[in-house]
């Protein structure tokens, strides 16, 4: 393959001039430009990816930031992002931030260096200040979790309403002692889901009891198990549990079984997300379905619209209550 040096030699100009032509600089004389383009054509020169970045200012790569790939909730969203992005000629790179600021910086710099065109962030732990700084100059879309104070467009569901529907379902089944297994309330979604939980209880004149609310540190199975262990250890046991993710709910279910109790006869259980595993448990898990694939597809569409200079607006998608065996 021909090099940029060979192109410069053939056109009788410097490498910097070839680079300027590739960059569409206006400072290159039309005559020179034609000479360089002729040389490029004759030598069948193909700019490397680096060259392409410089020339078109587009890498056709989108970064997708996730806190952890271990959480299957993100897989389905990513499938939606990918399908849309690929159809429109974009590829994605997955960046696991693991809540590590140093890694955030590296991924942000990939966009600053034009090695990637933009970022779709699904990371609730991301530094909001830095994200908003970056968004002032580069395309960013927030997906699922978002910063409500900033100006960055997002696609999400109405978490408060979804949680309200989940808890109302338990209340309608006759439950009054309903526990909330929530994640860390420094995350917006966790605060909103708690609001929905409290709203439903208040609407039916059921007191909000602190002893029925448990906040986990992380969002793994074990966190769900630990939460349920605490809730079962107290004298006043709940008869139903709303866990804010299916992974937490599956840990809760495991602990109920381990304690010799049955779902839903002894304790009813509802999760959140509708990950594929939620249908594989025994009994199957009642849950709030998030339109994960659609959410990802929408985020990708918004990103590409933004890259094409179109104006975009935040989108709130519909959730759905999926009643199965655990309630």
Residues in touch with a copy of itself (CB under 8 A): 14-16, 19, 48-50, 53-54, 68-70, 72, 74-76, 78-79, 82, 86, 91-96, 98, 100, 103, 106, 109-110, 112-115, 220-221, 250-251, 253-254, 257, 276-277, 279-282
Q: Which is nearer to a copy of itself, 53 or 159 (CB)?
A: 53
Pick between residue 82 and residue 123 the one whose CB is nearest to a copy of itself: 82
Count of C-beta atoms within a 10 Å radius of residue 173: 16
Q: Choose between 13 and 167: whose C-beta lies nearer to a copy of itself.
A: 13
Shortest reach from residue 113's CB to a copy of itself, in Å? 4
Instruction: Quote the CA–CA distance of 62 and 221 in Å, as a whole number.
Output: 31
120: β partners? 64, 141
Shortest spacing between CB 191 and a copy of itself, in angstroms: 27
Name 64's bridge partners.
94, 120
d(CA 42, CA 36): 10
The backbone region for 18, taken as left when phi is positive above 0, alpha when psi lies in -120 to 50, beta otherwise, is: alpha
Give least dist CB 94 to a copy of itself, A. Answer: 4
Q: How many CA atoms lie within 13 A of 16 on its CB side?
A: 1
| Least spacing, CB of residue 200 vs a copy of itself, in Å | 28
- Smallest gap, in angstroms, from Cβ of residue 199 to a copy of itself? 31
Q: Which is nearer to a copy of itself, 14 or 38 (CB)?
A: 14
CB of 106 to a copy of itself, least distance (A): 5
Angle, CA of 45, 47 and 51, to the nearest 5°: 155
Measured from the CB atom, is 16 or 34 closer to a copy of itself?
16
Burial of 71 (0-12, 13-18, 19+ CB in 10 A): middle
183: its two tokens = 């994640």
CB distance 267 to 261 below 8 Å: yes
Angstrom distance (rounded) from CA 10 to CA 220: 61
Which lies closer to a copy of itself via its Cβ, residue 80 or residue 196? 80
Q: What tokens were used for 289?
A: 């379905």
Residue 168: CB minimum distance to a copy of itself, A: 28
Distance (Å, whole) CA 60 – CA 51: 13
In the complex with a copy of itself, the residue whose CB is nearer, 38 or 70, is: 70
């Amino acid at each position: 393959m021909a090099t940029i040096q060979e192109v410069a030699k053939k056109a009788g100009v410097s490498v910097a001039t070839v680079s300027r032509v590739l960059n569409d600089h206006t400072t290159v004389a039309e005559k020179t430009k034609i000479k360089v383009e002729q040389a490029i054509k004759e030598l069948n020169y193909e700019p490397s990816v680096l060259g392409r970045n410089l020339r078109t200012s587009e890498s056709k790569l989108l970064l997708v930031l996730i806190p952890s790939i271990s959480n299957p909730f993100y897989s389905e969203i990513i499938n939606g992002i990918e399908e849309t992005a690929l159809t429109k000629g974009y590829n994605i790179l997955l960046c696991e931030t693991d809540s590590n600021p140093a890694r955030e910086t590296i991924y942000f710099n990939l966009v600053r260096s034009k090695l990637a065109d933009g970022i779709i962030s699904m990371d609730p732990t991301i530094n909001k200040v830095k994200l908003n700084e970056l968004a002032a100059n580069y395309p960013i879309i927030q997906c699922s979790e978002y910063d409500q104070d900033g100006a960055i467009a997002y696609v999400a569901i109405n978490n408060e309403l979804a949680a309200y529907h989940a808890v109302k379902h338990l209340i309608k089944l006759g439950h009054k002692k309903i526990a909330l297994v929530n994640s860390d309330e420094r995350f917006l979604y966790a605060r909103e889901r708690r609001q929905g939980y409290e709203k439903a209880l208040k609407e039916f004149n059921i007191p909000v009891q602190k002893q029925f609310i448990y906040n986990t540190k992380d969002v793994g199975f074990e966190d769900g198990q630990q939460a349920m262990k605490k809730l079962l250890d107290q004298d006043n046991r709940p008869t139903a549990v709303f866990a804010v993710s299916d992974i937490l709910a599956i840990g809760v279910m495991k602990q109920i079984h381990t304690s010799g109790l049955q779902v839903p006869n002894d304790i009813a259980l509802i999760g959140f997300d509708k990950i594929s595993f939620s249908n594989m448990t025994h009994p199957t898990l009642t849950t709030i379905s998030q339109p994960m694939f659609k959410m990802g597809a929408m985020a990708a569409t918004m990103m590409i619209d933004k890259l094409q200079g179109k104006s975009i607006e935040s989108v709130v998608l519909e959730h759905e209550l999926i009643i199965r065996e655990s309630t």
